[in-house]
């Protein structure tokens, strides 16, 4: 019986000694060796590299290490191999060095980025691992190993940092909240949630420039959200980017023309920017043979828009301008005292003006501009102006003398002013252009 037991034990030992040893698989992930690394090798080197790589993937670390050493330390295959072998041995510093040496030869080497991602994970550095996944996906967008890991880590970290940010803000620590939101955006730059919350923090802090950047990103992620667009538009206005704010409000108005709040904001921004929605009637003024009071008010308000803004008093009560296309211009001109209303609170917008009335309006405009700091020098002394058709007791004598002295309006060869002659559009435009040219 003892002999039989010894015989069985001996046969078992012999079988074990003849069996092929199967090493455990490596604890890291590694792909096939890319052809780009072996094309410049000789046939002998290529075979050696492929065999070494197969040993590496099979877990035969000792044999693979010897083969990589034979390839030479300058070979990227050897550098990668040594990196993965060091990773298997948990020598993370040596592994990192090997992968970085390989990247020094070829910055787009996916295997090296893959190795560095695994080094980062072994160190617990998810940010670095994420960066390496991203580098791989830049080169191979559908990479089977990197893509699912990239997406899973992106979702996980975005949720973690967004939750952290909200808790910090709720606890009254906006600085910590901002830092956490920025970390969330590192993982998900397109996150509407994180961008919007961060924009609101910056806006509350009166940091309109930073807020606008994040509103823009939030809008890009959800362009149909009108609430985001409105906040974005208001923030741009607060940042004094009035043109961009107006563009967004006009988009909102296109989507919902009945939104009165949006329409009012458009009007306000246009006024600030000096933009008038000029009707075709305004463009027809220069060709008119006889202009009206409303047309003169429009010419003054539009041509001197930037100068006239600010400081105007409350406009007088006018009972007859509601249907006038130039009502806003009339209110501007009368509020500034450049044109006057009549005692019965009418403006008579369609009344045709004559040269005497034009002279009075022009003198009022010049005096207003002088009070704003502009200098006007008469081209001739007022006491040398002789008018053969405007007596000194005429109501318009003084303004006509002044406007002729400035040579904004001329006399005829016979020294007549023709105070009752109607004013054509070309003459009115020309006189206002002269004033613009005289402003110093």
* 404: in domain: yes
Query: Which of 232, 255, 273 is the C-terminal boundary of a domain?
Result: 273
User: For the whole model, what pTM was predicted?
Assistant: 0.55
Contact between residue 303 and residue 295 where contact means Cβ atoms under 8 Å apart: no
**Is the pLDDT confidence value at 275 over 70?**
no
Same-domain status, 111 and 240: no
Same-domain status, 137 and 217: no
Cα 413 → chain centroid:
61
Q: Which of 330, 335, 364, 337 is nearest to 435 (CA)?
A: 364
* 359: in domain: yes
Average pLDDT over residues 88-100: 92
Distance of alpha carbon 355 from alpha carbon 196, whole angstroms? 60
Coil, helix or strand at residue 31: coil
**Is the pLDDT confidence value at 12 over 80?**
no
Distance of alpha carbon 171 from alpha carbon 95, whole angstroms? 43
Distance of alpha carbon 113 from alpha carbon 396, whole angstroms? 88
| Range among 5-9, 58-62, 280-284, 417-421 rated most confident | 417-421
* 336: in domain: yes
Distance of alpha carbon 299 from alpha carbon 434, whole angstroms? 13
Same-domain status, 297 and 396: yes
Q: Which of 1-15, 179-193, 404-418 has the lowest mean pLDDT?
A: 1-15
pLDDT of residue 159: 95
364-368-374-378 Cα dihedral, nearest 10 degrees: 20
Q: Which of 83, 127, 126 is nearest to 103 (CA)?
A: 83
| Residue 141 to residues 34, 126, 144, 337, Cα–Cα distance (Å) | 17, 20, 9, 69
Percent of the chain with pLDDT over 90: 55
At a CB cut-off of 8 Å and minimum separation 6, what does 265 contact?
233, 237, 249
pLDDT of residue 39: 80
Contact between residue 252 and residue 262 where contact means Cβ atoms under 8 Å apart: yes
pLDDT of residue 312: 61
Contact between residue 162 and residue 194 where contact means Cβ atoms under 8 Å apart: yes
Same-domain status, 203 and 239: yes
Same-domain status, 224 and 326: no
pLDDT of residue 306: 76
Contact between residue 102 and residue 111 where contact means Cβ atoms under 8 Å apart: yes
Average pLDDT over residues 308-330: 83
Query: Which of 208, 242, 273 is the C-terminal boundary of a domain?
Result: 273
Same-domain status, 295 and 408: yes
Average pLDDT over residues 288-305: 94
Angle (CA) 293 294 297, round 5°: 85
> What range defines the domain where residue 217 resides?
190-273
**Is the pLDDT confidence value at 11 over 70?**
no
* 262: in domain: yes
Q: Which of 21-30, 251-260, 264-273, 360-369 has the lowest mean pLDDT?
A: 21-30
**Is the pLDDT confidence value at 33 over 90?**
no
| Residue 144 to residues 28, 114, 137, 307, 407, Cα–Cα distance (Å) | 15, 12, 10, 65, 83
Q: Which of 65-69, 134-138, 232-236, 349-353 has the lowest mean pLDDT?
A: 65-69
pLDDT of residue 378: 87
Q: Which of 370, 328, 353, 371 is nearest to 425 (CA)?
A: 353
Task: Give the tokens for residue 272.
Answer: 């600030």
Query: Which of 255, 273, 291 is the C-terminal boundary of a domain?
Result: 273
Burial grade of 275 (CB within 10 A; 0-12, 13-18, 19 or more) = middle
- Phi and psi of 325, rounded to 5°? -65, -20
Contact between residue 362 and residue 408 where contact means Cβ atoms under 8 Å apart: yes
pLDDT of residue 340: 93
Contact between residue 352 and residue 292 where contact means Cβ atoms under 8 Å apart: yes
**Is the pLDDT confidence value at 14 over 70?**
no
**Is the pLDDT confidence value at 5 over 60?**
no
- Phi and psi of 186, rounded to 5°? -60, -40
pLDDT of residue 108: 87
* 159: in domain: no
Q: Which of 71-85, 193-207, 219-233 has the lowest mean pLDDT?
A: 71-85
* 16: in domain: no
* 379: in domain: yes
pLDDT of residue 241: 85
Same-domain status, 77 and 132: yes
Q: Which of 288, 280, 281, 283 is nearest to 422 (CA)?
A: 288
Same-domain status, 390 and 426: yes
Task: Give the tokens for residue 45.
Answer: 């080197």
At a CB cut-off of 8 Å and minimum separation 6, what does 168 contact?
174, 176, 177, 180
Same-domain status, 335 and 244: no
Same-domain status, 209 and 346: no
Same-domain status, 284 and 430: yes
State pLDDT tens for residues 97-134.
Answer: 999 998 998 888 999 999 999 999 999 999 999 999 99
Same-domain status, 97 and 202: no
Domain containing 199 — which CATH number? 1.25.40.10
State pLDDT tens for residues 126-162.
Answer: 999 999 999 999 999 999 999 999 999 999 999 999 9
* 54: in domain: yes
Contact between residue 68 and residue 51 where contact means Cβ atoms under 8 Å apart: no
Mean of all residue pLDDT scores within the chain:
88
Distance of alpha carbon 248 from alpha carbon 191, whole angstroms? 21
**Is the pLDDT confidence value at 166 over 70?**
yes
Contact between residue 150 and residue 128 where contact means Cβ atoms under 8 Å apart: no
pLDDT of residue 310: 64
Burial grade of 212 (CB within 10 A; 0-12, 13-18, 19 or more) = buried
pLDDT of residue 20: 43
Total domains present in the chain: 3
């Amino acid at each position: 019986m003892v002999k039989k037991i010894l015989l069985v034990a001996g046969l078992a030992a012999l079988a074990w000694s003849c069996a092929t040893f199967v090493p455990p698989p490596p604890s890291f992930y590694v792909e096939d060796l890319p052809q780009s690394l072996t094309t410049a090798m000789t046939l002998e080197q290529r075979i050696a590299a492929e065999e070494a790589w197969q040993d590496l993937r099979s877990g035969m670390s000792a044999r693979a290490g010897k083969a990589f050493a034979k390839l030479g330390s300058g070979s990227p295959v050897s550098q990668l191999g040594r990196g993965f072998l060091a990773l298997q041995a948990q020598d993370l510093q040596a592994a990192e060095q090997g992968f970085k040496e390989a990247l020094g030869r070829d910055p787009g080497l996916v295997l090296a980025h893959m190795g560095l991602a695994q080094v980062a994970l072994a160190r617990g550095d998810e940010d670095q691992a994420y960066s390496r996944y991203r580098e791989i996906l830049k080169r191979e967008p559908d990479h089977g190993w990197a893509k699912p890991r990239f997406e899973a880590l992106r979702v996980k970290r975005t949720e973690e940092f967004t939750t952290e940010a909200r808790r910090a803000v709720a606890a009254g620590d906006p600085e910590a909240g901002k830092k956490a939101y920025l970390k969330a955006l590192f993982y998900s730059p397109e996150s509407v949630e994180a961008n919007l919350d961060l924009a609101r923090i910056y806006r509350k802090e009166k940091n309109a420039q930073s807020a606008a950047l994040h509103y823009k990103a939030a809008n890009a992620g959800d362009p149909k959200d009108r609430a985001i667009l409105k906040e974005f538009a208001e923030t741009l206005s607060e940042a004094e980017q009035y043109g961009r704010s107006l563009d967004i409000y006009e988009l909102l108005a296109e989507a919902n023309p009945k939104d009165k709040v949006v329409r009012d904001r458009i009007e306000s921004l246009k006024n600030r920017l000096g933009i008038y929605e000029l009707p075709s009637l305004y463009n027809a003024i220069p060709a008119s043979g006889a202009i009206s009071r409303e047309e003169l008010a429009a010419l003054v308000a539009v041509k001197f828009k930037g100068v006239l803004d600010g400081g105007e008093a409350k406009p007088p009560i006018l009972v007859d301008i509601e249907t006038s296309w130039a009502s806003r211009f009339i209110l501007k001109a009368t509020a500034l005292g450049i044109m006057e209303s009549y005692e019965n609170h009418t403006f008579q917008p369609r009344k045709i003006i004559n040269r005497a009335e034009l002279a009075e309006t022009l003198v009022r405009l010049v005096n207003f501009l002088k009070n704003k700091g502009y200098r006007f020098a008469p081209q001739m002394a007022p006491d040398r102006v002789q008018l053969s058709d405007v007596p000194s007791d005429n109501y318009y004598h003084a303004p006509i003398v002044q406007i002729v002295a400035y040579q904004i309006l001329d006399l005829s060869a016979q020294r007549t002013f023709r105070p009752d002659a109607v004013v054509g559009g070309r003459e009115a435009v020309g006189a206002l252009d002269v004033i613009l040219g005289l402003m110093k």
